Structure 1
Amino acid sequence: MIKPREKAPEIIVNLVNDTTWKFSEQSPENFVMILFYRGKHCPVCKKQLEELQRKLSKFTERGINVIAISSDTEEVAKATYDEWEISNIPIGYGFPIEEARKWGLFISEGIKKEPKHFTEPGLFLLKSDGTMYWESIQSMPFGRPSFNDVLGGIDYILKAGYPARGEA
């Protein structure tokens, strides 16, 4: 697990548009929000990412770069992108399970038609210098923070100059 104010590991991930996304190449006005999702098999993820698509402009207005990442294969991730209403969200795929563990993400073994292993959800807000600011990690598909709550928190953070918490 990465504590707030600690440097996060570099992320380099392939995107469904056949480009590569690197955290170190991001230059947001305020933060980068990385949303790890379980994968195409997850109806809760579909709902969450489609909500993010609807609210994406609210994040970009606040100087937040956004990416959603899963451990799905390229083929599955591209089908997700084509079938879900998420056309403006950069979608990364093939995130290695061992890298996910470095982020403190929970890993599940697949049941029924799920992949053999996949990450449970996580939302991370990082400063442009690569340090962790805010993290929300779930061990289940349920109980994710609402984007309205996240946006409200970001508004307060930016207005008050509120520091990252949880570092002690």
Structure 2
Amino acid sequence: MPTPKPTPGSILSPLTFARANGGEITVGGPSKNWTLLVVYRGKHCPRCKKYLNTLNEMRAAWADAGFDIAVVSADSQEKAQADQAEFGWDFDLGYGLTEDQMATLGVYVTEPLSPQEADGCFAEPGVFVLREDGSQIIVSISNGPAVRPELGELLDGMIFNKQNDRPHRGTV
């Protein structure tokens, strides 16, 4: 049975993920800043790495605009740490995204084609932007690796939305 998709404007209940370099990351619910949450497929995905490398280069611009960044996959800690070390990602990188958490986010879930692809089911890409109250102003989910929001355009739009207190869209 397909997972229900998230409703723009709804409050994302707090989700907690283990952080690759120790500790935890919590997204959803009230926070001091807006949040950019990126769900990526995992270590096996070269398109994810390209996207996350771009995000890492834009980290300061997102922070200057008042956004916290959290990135998570269903990968193991070892895989997440290996990618973080190889690519030098400085954003909060989470691992161990569960199928229940995938369902809460409404992302598409895929069974691996082989054990070399992934250890188990993994999430397809999702990008979420949350206001300080945890409401979802942007929900972008894809059923495959080739479709994701362009990060520069997304940042520009989110700056405009923040400055002009624009509402969430897509609820009709």
**TM-score, normalisation: structure 2:** 0.91
Distance 2:135 2:162 in 1: 16
For 2:106, the equivalent position in structure 1 comes to 104
Distance 1:149 1:122 in 2: 16
In the comparison of the two structures, how many residue pairs are matched?
165
**Match of 2:101, SS?**
helix
Distance 1:27 1:165 in 2: 23
Unmatched 5+ stretches in structure 2: none
- 8 Å CA contact retained: 2:125, 2:141: yes
1:165 is the counterpart of 2:159:
no
For 1:148, the equivalent position in structure 2 comes to 152
For 2:121, the equivalent position in structure 1 comes to 117
**Greater shift in the superposed pair: 151-160 or 100-109:** 151-160
Unmatched 5+ stretches in structure 1: none
For 2:59, the equivalent position in structure 1 comes to 56
Matches within 5 A, 1:15-54: 15-23=19-27, 24=29, 26-28=31-33, 31-54=34-57
Distance 2:122 2:106 in 1: 13
Q: In the TM superposition, what is the alpha-carbon distance from 1:22 to its structure 2 partner?
A: 1.7
Q: What CA deviation, in whole Å up to 9, does each residue of 1:88-125 have, x standing for no partner?
A: 11100001012101211000110132112100000000
Amino acid in structure 2 at the alignment position of 1:91: L
For 2:16, the equivalent position in structure 1 comes to 12
**Greater shift in the superposed pair: 154-163 or 65-74:** 154-163
- Pick one of 74, 79, 83 that aligns with 2:86: 83
Q: What CA deviation, in whole Å up to 9, does each residue of 1:16-55 have, x standing for no partner?
A: 1111112257421xx1010000001000010011100101
For 2:73, the equivalent position in structure 1 comes to 70
Q: In the TM superposition, what is the alpha-carbon distance from 1:161 to its structure 2 partner?
A: 2.0
Distance 1:159 1:26 in 2: 18
For 2:95, the equivalent position in structure 1 comes to 93
Q: In the TM superposition, what is the alpha-carbon distance from 1:2 to its structure 2 partner?
A: 1.9
Distance 1:143 1:20 in 2: 28
Q: In the TM superposition, what is the alpha-carbon distance from 1:80 to its structure 2 partner?
A: 1.3
Q: What CA deviation, in whole Å up to 9, does each residue of 1:113-146 have, x standing for no partner?
A: 2112100000000111111111110001002111
Distance 2:75 2:129 in 1: 22
**TM-score, normalisation: structure 1:** 0.93
